[in-house]
Amino acid sequence: MKTVDNFNFEDKKALIRVDFNVPLNEEKQVTDASRITAACPTILKVLEDGGSAVLMSHLGRPKGKVNPDMSLAHIVDTVSEILGVQVKFVGASSGPEAEAAVAELQNGEVMLLENLRFEAAEEAGGRDYAEALSRLGDIYVNDAFGTAHRAHASTTVVADFFSGSKCFGYLLAKEIEAIQKVMKTGEKPVTAILGGAKVSSKITIIENILDKIDHLIVGGGMTYTFVQAQGGQIGDSICEPDKNQLALDILKQAEAKGVQVHLPTDVIAADAFSDQANTQIVPVDEIPEGWQGLDAGPNSLAAMKEVILASKTILWNGPVGVFEMEPFAGGTKAVGDYIDEATQQGAFSLVGGGDSVAAVKQFGYQDKVSYVSTGGGAMLESLEGRTLPGIAAIVED
């Protein structure tokens, strides 16, 4: 796996695909700069070698049309502040204007191109557009894991024009290594904690990881499909009745592969989907009509704690309750605490997937786990066993 450490960037222009798709407020100010911060080590490596960096990214979903609200001009000051280098900006991502601006770029300088997705050819994987991008650098660096599952011009096709001169940035390399630790090289026992609302959205992940894990902890809304499938009463809890047989099949597959599945035994049930609702702790298979399970109960959490603390490799994808509401955030917080403790004892812990990453950030666990993935969809597709086109484009040289 070639990374930026395999290259000396002296007198070279690095064309770096970053993921600066960051949230902006109404004043167009960056409200969460973590993706920008995460890309800094790669950019600084290029500059310290004596080269220059040409950064390309998308922002939002302009769908191939220029939208001033989604211009990357809005983030230039934030990128400059975080990098400690005044970043230059050009209002084009390719063509004569971009080429002229890049031609004037000196060693030690950074240029940010305009939003790639202002061009329809970006998401379409247009070859001519990819070639135009390729003219803006000597070495191609992909450091955008969040878009590595997309076969776009800037993430995949452009790499065709850099044979022998392409590599991963530090961030993308870390993402690959983290997933490999869970899927291939992780020390046993390996535990996967899968939460979220639906079994259907996690089925491919579950099927792919059953050969790699020893324990599967099921939490969140998909719990109730498993419980109903086994004849339990789930009241008004979220459920996919049409996936009951699928849930039973998963349990059979797990048993055949020697994977222990841990379902909640008790839950915090509420009489409405509201943080003002009345609550009670009930067995997971005896939820009364008119009530719905919204968080893991104390007995469930005690069982999860035992499994997690005995684990050497941990994957966490999805909360175990409706953590956005304070009365139902306790289970997700507790799981975070258990993973923190296991990590301190030497376990490797990987958190990935939108909601679990949001929970980790909300409750301050970013520095208490081994790795927090920056790529939601890309992370999930990796766990499903798919080869991501953005990664394949670098590896297949």
Rounded Cα distance, 382 and 390, in Å = 12
Confidence band of 112 (pLDDT split at 50, 70, 90): very high
The answer to whether residue 353 scores a pLDDT higher than 80 is no
When pLDDT is averaged across residues 170-197 and rounded to a whole number, the result is: 90
166 is catalytic: no
pLDDT (0 to 100) of residue 205: 86
386 is catalytic: no
Q: Which of 35, 181, 212, 243 is catalytic?
A: 35
Extract the tokens encoding 308: 């997690």
Rounded Cα distance, 172 and 148, in Å = 9
- For residue 160, with 0-12 CB atoms within 10 Å meaning exposed, 13-18 middle and 19 or more buried, which class applies? middle
17 is catalytic: no
Domains and CATH numbers, the chain: 4-171 (3.40.50.1260), 186-383 (3.40.50.1260)
Extract the tokens encoding 241: 């009745």
Q: Which of 127, 135, 198, 361 is catalytic?
A: 198
Rounded Cα distance, 65 and 280, in Å = 51
Mean pLDDT is lowest, of 49-53, 205-209, 244-248, for 205-209
Q: Which of 64, 108, 354, 385 is catalytic?
A: 354
Place of tokens 């204007």: 97
pTM of the model: 0.83
Pairing of strands 233-234, 260-262: unpaired
pLDDT (0 to 100) of residue 354: 62
pLDDT (0 to 100) of residue 397: 62
Model confidence pLDDT, tens digit, residues 235-290? 999 999 999 999 999 999 999 999 999 999 999 999 999 999 999 999 999 999 99
User: Count of CB atoms within 10 A of residue 259's CB?
Assistant: 22
Extract the tokens encoding 89: 């900006």
Rounded Cα distance, 305 and 342, in Å = 9
235 is catalytic: no
